[in-house]
Amino acid sequence: MQLGRTVFADLISHLSPRSFHTCVDRYRGNYKASRFSCWDQFLSMAFAQLTYRESLRDIEACLRALQPRLYHMGIRARIARSTLADANETRDWRIYADFAQVLITDARRLYAHEALGVDLAHTVYALDATIIDLCLTLFPWAPYTATQHAIKLHTLLDLRGPIPTVVRITPAREHDVHFLDTLIPEAGAFYLMDRGYLDFTRLYVLTTAGAFFVTRTKANLCLTRRVSRPADPDQGIRSDQLVVPTHTRSRAAYPAPLRRVHYVDPDTGQHLVFLTNHVTLPALTIAHLYRARWQVELFFKWIKQHLRIKAFYGTSPNAVKTQIWIAIAVYVLVAIVKKRLALDVTLHQCLQVLSVTLFEKQPISSALFTDHAQFPAETVGNQLQLLDL
């Protein structure tokens, strides 16, 4: 008897097939694909992400064992390791990158009014990069050091979510600051970044676009004080100053005044010196804003622990990028479902439950509902006891 669709099918129902096929047609993804379509590839790889499959053989074995249910999951083709490997190697990874951007747009709309932790109505982004290690022999196209091959994942994270809004995959040797060259600054938004992005020419582009930034100063950065503002040592603010670059070349690159805030963390006693182009926010808010930047570090840690982006099913650049973008799409999809269904669970709990209930025939909301009735503490009167204690 048909009891309903599976949890996997319920999850996939939150995707837009029309948007997906628009991305496929843009790059002719299904050209000469008679049996194994891009949609089949996406669903197979999404299954691998959600159930933590280790290899293509693992994916093939599990999906073939579930062959009678694949049609109801949306997978129309018979899964073969070689077919999936060829699709990952040859089909343009930009198909899945574009589709992930569609999901990111939907997710940002849903999370637009999420609490930020700071009393601020502006959009706040955190940007950073992380290294993904690769095998020396299997990935010769990604040299990093003499003993290490790797790629770098640059991310611009919307802290209301948090949702990755811009993701760029580059060789690991590329410096983090070049990521700023690819951004289109959003007027009125805040960009939180570490000292590795301190480049006056690029920061002035943000300023001229009407955006704001908060970063940290370097030890060898020379700044000349112009104005000192009142500081509250009880809040940890040691100084609040308007400064300009000391060196002529730096001043030419950034001709506008900057604000330097010296803050001492009351919990750790650590001295932190921030640099920003916003001159009216309270100094303590600047410090709290930079603290929120830590969410991008937690995002990198989270996806490395809970998604398959450290072990890859293919060895070509196209296969690696395809797997990373599908992993990001799965992450955003789970975030969308969590918000639409108003689930009071974390993303980690969502993934853990989904990994063992994908083929159960029940709604997602039922599978992830945590307030289940508990057994009563007292034994029922007519229940026989096994042991007389």
Q: What is the pLDDT of residues 299-319, one digit of tens each?
A: 999 888 888 888 899 999 999
**Which pLDDT belongs to residue 369?**
66
The single-letter DSSP state of residue 380 is P
**Which pLDDT belongs to residue 102?**
96
Using CA atoms, how far apart are residues 55 and 311, in angstroms rounded to an integer? 9
**Which pLDDT belongs to residue 1?**
35
> What separation, in Å, do the N-terminal and C-terminal C-alpha atoms of the chain show?
45
Average of pLDDT values for 144-166?
Answer: 93
Q: Do 210 and 185 form a contact (C-beta atoms < 8 A)? A: yes
Place of tokens 């077919």: 83
User: Residue 227: enclosing H or E segment and its boundaries?
Assistant: strand 223-229
**Which pLDDT belongs to residue 379?**
46
Say if residue 374's pLDDT is above 50. no
Q: In the structure, what pLDDT confidence band is assigned to residue 44 with cuts at 50, 70 and 90?
A: very high
55-106 pLDDT, tens digit per residue, is 999 999 998 888 878 877 788 888 899 999 999 999 999 999 999 999 999 9
**Average pLDDT value over all residues in the chain:** 89
Q: Do 365 and 343 form a contact (C-beta atoms < 8 A)? A: yes
Structure tokens at 206: 């943000």
Structure tokens at 374: 């508990």
The CA-atom distances, in angstroms, between 139 and each of 59, 93, 312 are 22, 17, 10
Kindly report which listed range (37-41, 166-170, 205-209, 359-363) carries the lowest average pLDDT score. Answer: 359-363
Kindly report which listed range (209-218, 221-230, 376-385) carries the lowest average pLDDT score. Answer: 376-385
**Which pLDDT belongs to residue 114?**
86
**Which pLDDT belongs to residue 219?**
87
239-291 pLDDT, tens digit per residue, is 999 999 999 999 999 999 999 999 998 888 899 999 999 999 999 999 999 99
9-42 pLDDT, tens digit per residue, is 899 999 999 999 999 999 999 988 778 999 999 9
* Closest to 6 in 3D by CA, of 371, 330, 367: 367
- Domains of the chain with bracketed CATH: 96-299 (3.90.350.10)
326-366 pLDDT, tens digit per residue, is 999 999 999 999 999 988 888 888 888 888 888 888 888 88
Q: Do 193 and 127 form a contact (C-beta atoms < 8 A)? A: yes
The CA-atom distances, in angstroms, between 96 and each of 9, 24, 146, 161, 215 are 19, 8, 32, 21, 32
134-146 pLDDT, tens digit per residue, is 999 999 999 999 8
**Which pLDDT belongs to residue 184?**
93
The CA-atom distances, in angstroms, between 3 and each of 72, 360, 362, 368 are 12, 10, 8, 18
* Closest to 278 in 3D by CA, of 211, 355, 331: 211
Place of tokens 């853990």: 352
* Closest to 25 in 3D by CA, of 38, 44, 13: 38
The residues near 135 (Cβ < 8 Å, ≥ 6 apart) are 149
**Which pLDDT belongs to residue 364?**
84
